[in-house]
Structure 1
Amino acid sequence: MQANERLQEFSQRMAYEGSPHIGVEAFDPVPEALARHSERNVHVLRALASLDERRVEGNDDDSPLIQELQRMDSKINVLLDIVDRLLLPVSMLPPRHPVRFNAVGVMLPASLLPAADNLLVRLHFDACRALPLELPARMGRLLNEGDAFVYFCEIGEMVEDGLERFVFCHHRRKVAEARLTGAIENVLSSKHRV
């Protein structure tokens, strides 16, 4: 029954929709591995946020200088981590697949799933390919049209909050891009009428 409740919760929240590089493997959710993945995922989500040049949010208590220094510090940490891993060549990344995810879980092609209940979902984003999100999950439900729902488990509150912010920022960018495209089309169509 938990899978159905999680699927309902997933459906009620805003979700990221895109085609990142994604891989799924069987996973043994021992406490040490869960803690390691949680800490790393917090770092990756911060890195992705700091690499987003359009980010304008900040803590009202911090001065603009402090915010900029924190952003630069995050970028330097990301660069050091990338150099340390010697960047994954595209040929070593898992293939891209259309997915839809939020802090509850992910809808993905069922063909990606190994025969296991405990899973580790790896999402590689173009902004920082060498640093994937590695999210412990459980098999939820097989859905129509060859898709499956997998729900995240034991990801931690900070990772959940980071995923919510990531999804929100992605959605906000998509809306802004759609508005810009619409404005450009309106300008071009008005020029043709003149």
Structure 2
Amino acid sequence: MQTQQDEAKWQAFSERVTYQGQPHVDIGAFDPALEDITRLNERNLHVLRSLAALDERRSESTSDDDSPLMLELQRMDSKINVLLDIVDRLLLPATLLPPRQPVSFNAVGMIVPESALPAAESLLVRLHFDACRALPLELPAQRGRLLNDDNTFVYFCALSDVVEDGLERFVFCHHRRKVAEARLTGMAENVPGGKYRV
């Protein structure tokens, strides 16, 4: 039976832009103490800042500015990204990552396959993103409604305001990038031979 809080969270989730993708996802039962929540909020803020910095560097490296200085900065940026990727892989080999799951989430909650959830009401959601997979977001959550497609809605709880804001920005930037990519792909497909232009 759905509570009023469940319904309010689902409504709030449905009205916002969502991140849609397949990050590595691990969800476990969670019985947090106050200090656990404080620690998680601090860690999540650090992870969100790291992801934002990596995204900014990636978007800057795709600039149309082809001055010698910008080209040199792009080469340095590529080398830094390779080093970060190597360190990330050493810190957390792919074999130790949880499986990828198709998810849709925003700062309110997440839709996830029911099969990925443990038999618990209070949960801890860990999301590992490719840009920084050794540093997962760890989000306390509650089980919400079961959806018609074998998915379940879970809603986040006990997130600090700054973590919620950071999640909103992360989701918005991801959504904006996907829209831009879709437009570029559409433009390329409308140009003869556009898909194969170098």
Shared fold, TM over 0.5: yes
Quick check: 1:9 aligned with 2:2?
no
* Equivalent position SS for 2:139: strand
Distance 2:10 2:106 in 1: 11
Which of 111, 120, 137 matches 2:141? 137
Partner of 1:184: 188
Partner of 2:59: 54
TM-score by length of 1: 0.81
Q: Which amino acid aligns with 1:17?
A: Q
Partner of 1:110: 114
Q: Report runs of 4+ in structure 1 exceeding 6 Å deviation.
A: none
TM-score by length of 2: 0.80
Note the residue ranges of structure 2 that are not aligned, 5 or more in a row.
62-76
Q: Which amino acid aligns with 1:15?
A: T
CA contact (8 A) 1:49 1:55 kept: no
- Matches of residues 18-167 of structure 1 in structure 2 within 5 Å? 18-52=21-55, 53-54=58-59, 86-167=90-171
Distance 1:36 1:157 in 2: 14
Q: Rate the CA distance shift 1:184–1:92 in 2: closer, same or farther, 3 A.
A: same
Question: How large is the RMSD of aligned CA atoms in angstroms?
Answer: 2.3
Q: Deviations over 1:6-25 (max 9, x none)?
A: 00110000000000000100
Distance 2:89 2:40 in 1: 17
Q: Rate the CA distance shift 1:134–1:7 in 2: closer, same or farther, 3 A.
A: same
**Cα distance, 1:145 vs. partner?**
1.3
